[in-house]
Structure formats: C-alpha cells, structure tokens
Amino acid sequence: MSPAPKGMRDFGPDAMILRNQVFSRLETIFESFGFDPLETPVVEMWETIKGKYGDEAENQMVYHFKDSWGGKEMALRYDLTVPLARFMAENPTVPMPFCRYHIGRVYRHDQPQKGRYREFWQCDVDVVGSDKPEADALIIKVVLAVMKEFGFKQFTVRLNDRRLLNGIFTRGLGVKNFKEVLVAVDKINKIGLEGVEKEIRKIEPDKVTSIVNVLKIRGGNQKILDEIVRTFDNEEVRSGKACLEKVLALVGDDRVKIDLSMVRGLDYYTGPIFETVVEKPKIGSLTGGGRYDSLIGLYGGRDLPATGTTIGVERLIDAGLELGVFRRDTQTPTQVGIIAMDGGDAYAWKVAETLRLAGLKVKIDLMQRKWNKQSEYYKKLGVPVMVFVGEREIREQTSTVVFGQKRDSVKFEKLPEKIRNLLKV
C-alpha cells in the first residue's frame, strides 16, 4: 500500500482533538468580533481561479485538472479569498458589511518543508462592503486577539499599503515593471535583501539602487510615513499615508509596525496589507492579508470593497507545540469509560445512556472483555473517569466511580452530578 501523497498528512485522534480545540477557540474569537461562518466547495471552476494569483502561482502551484465526466477544467481551491469573492458575486442580497470567517482545507503544489504542506487548513476573516479604514483596523484587532489567545508574545504585525508602493515605485521612481518588482521584493524573507537586489537588477537595472534604498527605510511609524511623503509627494502616497495613520490610531498597539519591504505578492491587493511574523520560534509569517477592493467585481455584478487576512492554522499549531502552548497528550475526547462486570452488561448500557443524556462523553466495551482488559484499554486512551458496574451495583442501584486514586460508590441518580463535579464541567 502506498503512503499518503507527499505534503499531505493523516491526523490521528490526538492531533484532531488538538486541531478541533484550536478551531473552536478561533471561532469564539471571530464571533466575539461579529464575524459569521461560511463554507464553500473545495473544487472551483478553473475560470474562477484563472488570473487571480499571478502567473507563477497559477502555472506552478495550483492543482489544475480536467473533469473526466464533462471535460471541464477545474482546480482545487488555492485559498479562501477567491471563493469568497465568487460567493459574494453570486449572492448580491447578503446584508452589508458582510463579516465572515472560514476555516477549510486548501491545496498548493508547493515544495513540502517545515511548516509548509500541499494540503493544509487555512483560516480567513474578511469584511466585505466597507471601504473605510475601520474595516482594516478590525481585521488587525482580530489578529492581535488570536495572538493573545494562543500565548504568542514575540511577534510583529507588519503593515504597508499598495497605494504607497505604487506611488513610490511607479509614480515616484518611474518603475515600469511594477508587478515583477513586487514579486522579487516578496521573496525578501527567503533570499534576503541582497538576493532581492540581484533580482531587481535584472528587471529594473536603472532603478535598483533607488528601490533598495526605499526598502531600507526604518524608524517609527510616523517617521517612515512623513519621510515617504516628503520624498514622493503624490496623490497615491498621500492616500496610503492617511489610511495607515487612521488604522494605526484605531488599533493602538505598538506591535504593529510599518515595513516598506513587506509587499504581499498576490496581484489583487489595492490598499493596506499586513502580515504577522512570529520571532520565536522562527516560522515566518503566521497571518497575512490586506485590502482587495477590485477582486469581487471580476466575477460580474457590482464592485465591492473588501479586506481580510489569512491565519496559518498549520503554522499556528506547529509553533504552539514548539513553544509548549499546546499539548498532544490526549488520545480521546471521551470523559467516562463504563466497565461491566459479572453480567452487568445491560445495566452498563443503561448507565452509559444516562450519562450521555447528561451531556457527558462515554465509551462502553464492545468486545465482551474481562473487566481488567477494559480498564487497561481506558487507561491507555487516557479516559479520566471509569465507572464499574456489577452484580452488587445492580442490586444496590449504584456505580463504583474511579477518578485517579479516588474510588466512590455513587447512587444511580447522583452519578451524572458526581462525574461533572470530578471533571469540573
């Protein structure tokens, strides 16, 4: 039998329990900010995908295939943003602004490495229908809440604006190959500034020094913005500066820093862009996104302003495990294991049903094993509470409850309450 495809993984119970806990905590955060859930198909029509991610991504990283039934070209979804845009175009009556979150699998024909997979979960939060800086600020506030919830302390939210970049490079420096320059700059975390400089030299040899000097600009947020306006005073630069100043004021967190070398490689961004980089452990960006006001209109119908971010669930979990934020020592969500002794099978099933109706998660033996084998099974899985029932328990309408070193005889009608108190649920 062949193993799972390269870059794709199985998840056993311990991994899925952790993953579901992470998803649940994320959903709680999103809903606290007023976001609603959305799901879309994992397969999209190729015409939906084509032209949305740039030539390099579409030619090398999108899983693209032909439907064997109808011969139509299709693709596995590459992210959750383009499916959202299609959904909005097909559902024009959705109340605005539409604040949505989406947790789902996406696919990229990438080179697998630590923190990078070909099939992985992505998590998106987006605001559709508002072109105001308040929407961008809300997305960043959600990101900060996620970082706090999962205990990350050493991180930076890097902030930039596509209007600033266009005003600097195209109108200010006269760069003709703007998109190609952005693709090169987007590799800065992989190949460093020197590597970026070499790539730009091939694209814009006369402008390379000026471009690199912009990427080197450092300082406080206001200092950077003021310097850019002094050097490149045009409408796009002023518009980008005003928007970022408003976003920074609304967010009010000094971990949000303007970084002109952060450009986000996708073609569809139109305004503020942002990503979160965790400094310890070194895993690269944990979140990334920005404003994409022109994307939804590509699907027909009205243009709709939109902004949002992706949260890398895989990297979040990997980093959390490395930092000790998460644990993977739970093999089952089961809270109670029922052990039948001496002909107590029917009574055991009655006890199990009563506990389930009380909202507890219960396993019962399905192999007619001796009580000691049942006990070994539950211990191996890490089930915290065991309930023994036999002839005496049937006669007295009780159960023997074992929790750690504690052992108590409990009346049938008191059993759910007793176990809830032990588990503190």
**Cis? peptide before 281, omega within 30° of 0:** yes
Q: How far apart are the first and last CA of the chain?
A: 43
Domain total for the chain? 2
Range of the domain at 395: 336-423
The pLDDT-based confidence of 302 (bands split at 50, 70, 90) is confident
Q: Which residues contact 56 (CB under 8 A, 6 or more apart)?
A: 183
Q: Quote the tokens at residue 192.
A: 């460093």
Residues 196 and 313 in one domain: yes
User: Both 340 and 263 in a single domain?
Assistant: no
Residue 226: which residues within 8 A CB-CB, separation 6 or more?
A: none
Q: What's the pLDDT at 182?
A: 84
State the chain's mean pLDDT as an integer: 91
**Do residues 305 and 233 share a domain?**
yes
For residue 410, the surrounding DSSP H or E stretch is strand 406-411
Assign residue 412 the CATH number of its domain: 3.40.50.800
Residue 115 has pLDDT above 70, yes or no: no
Q: Which residues contact 162 (CB under 8 A, 6 or more apart)?
A: 240, 264, 269, 270, 271, 272, 273, 290, 291
Verify that 159 and 187 share a domain, yes or no. Answer: yes
Q: Decide if 328 is inside a domain.
A: no
Residue 210: inside a domain, yes or no?
Answer: yes
Does 315 fall in a domain?
yes
Spatial separation of the C-alpha atoms in residues 12 and 239, rounded to whole Å: 50
- The DSSP secondary structure of 124-167, one letter per residue, reads EEEEES--SHHHHHHHHHHHHHHHHHTT--SEEEEEEEHHHHHI
Token duo for residue 271: 């305004």
- Give the residue-averaged pLDDT of 403-418: 96
Residues 271 and 370 in one domain: no
Q: Comparing C-alpha atoms, which of 334, 350, 357, 349 is closest to residue 423?
A: 334
7: in domain: no
Q: What is the pLDDT of residue 113?
A: 79
State whether residue 208 is helix, strand or coil: helix
What does DSSP say about strands 36-37 and 98-107: parallel, antiparallel, or unpaired? parallel
Position 174 scores a pLDDT of 82
Could you tell me if 273 and 174 are in contact, meaning their C-beta atoms sit under 8 angstroms apart? no
Has residue 212 got a pLDDT over 90?
no
Least confident of 105-119, 370-384, 389-403: 105-119
Does residue 257 contact residue 157 with C-beta atoms inside 8 Å?
yes
| 174, 181, 182, 381 from 202: Cα distances, Å | 16, 10, 13, 59
Which domain-ending residue is among 290, 323, 356? 323
**What confidence tens digit (pLDDT) does each residue in 20-53 have?**
999 999 999 999 999 999 999 999 999 888 877 7
- The Cα–Cα gap between 337 and 245 comes to 57
Is 90 exceeded by the pLDDT of residue 408? yes
Please determine, for residue 200, whether its predicted confidence score (pLDDT) is greater than 70: yes
* 107 bridge partner residues: 119
For the chain, the C-alpha Rg in angstroms (whole number) is: 27
Predicted confidence at residue 285, as pLDDT, reads: 86
What share of the chain in percent tops pLDDT 70?
99
- Choosing from 289, 323, 357, the residue where a domain stops is 323
Report if residue 8 sits inside a domain. no
Determine the pLDDT at residue 268. Answer: 83
Q: Are residues 165 and 213 in the same domain?
A: yes
Query: What is the model's pLDDT at position 37?
Result: 98
Rounded average pLDDT over 197-211: 87
Residue 189 and residue 87 share a domain: yes
- 135 is a domain residue: yes
- Could you tell me if 402 and 295 lie in one domain? no
The 10s digit of each residue's pLDDT in 335-373 is: 999 999 988 899 999 999 999 999 999 999 999 999 999
Q: Which helix (H) or strand (E) holds 200?
A: helix 188-203
DSSP assignment string, 236-258: HHHHHHHHHHHHHHHH--TTEEE
Whether the Cβ atoms of residue 157 and residue 140 lie closer than 8 Å to each other: yes
CB 336 within 8 A of CB 360: yes
pLDDT at 149: 93
Residues 310 and 416 in one domain: no
pLDDT digits (tens, 9 = 90+) for 46-94: 988 887 777 777 778 899 989 888 889 999 999 998 899 899 989 999 9
DSSP for 316-369, written as a single string: HHHHHHHHTSS---------EEEEE-TT-HHHHHHHHHHHHHTT--EEE-SS--
Domain shared by 112 and 203, yes or no: yes
Task: Specify whether 157 is located in the same domain as 283.
Answer: yes
Instruction: Single out the residue in 323, 350, 368 at which a domain terminates.
Output: 323
H or E segment and range at residue 389: strand 385-389
User: When comparing pLDDT for 242 and 217, which is higher?
Assistant: 242
> With 80 as the cut, is the pLDDT of residue 381 above it?
yes
305 and 403 part of one domain: no
Six-digit token string for 240: 């980008």
227 contacts: CB under 8 Å, gap ≥ 6: 217, 219
The answer on pLDDT for 301 being more than 80 is no
In this predicted structure, the answer to whether residue 397 has a pLDDT above a threshold of 70 is yes
Query: Considering the domain boundaries, does residue 5 fall inside one?
Result: no
Sheet strand arrangement including 406-411: 362-364, 336-340, 385-389, 398-403, 406-411
Q: Determine, yes or no, domain membership for 1.
A: no
Instruction: Give me the CATH number covering residue 162.
Output: 3.30.930.10
What is the arithmetic mean of pLDDT over 244-270?
Answer: 92
Number of CB atoms found within 10 A of residue 396's CB: 11
Please state, in angstroms and rounded to a whole number, the distance separating the CA atoms of residues 410 and 397: 9
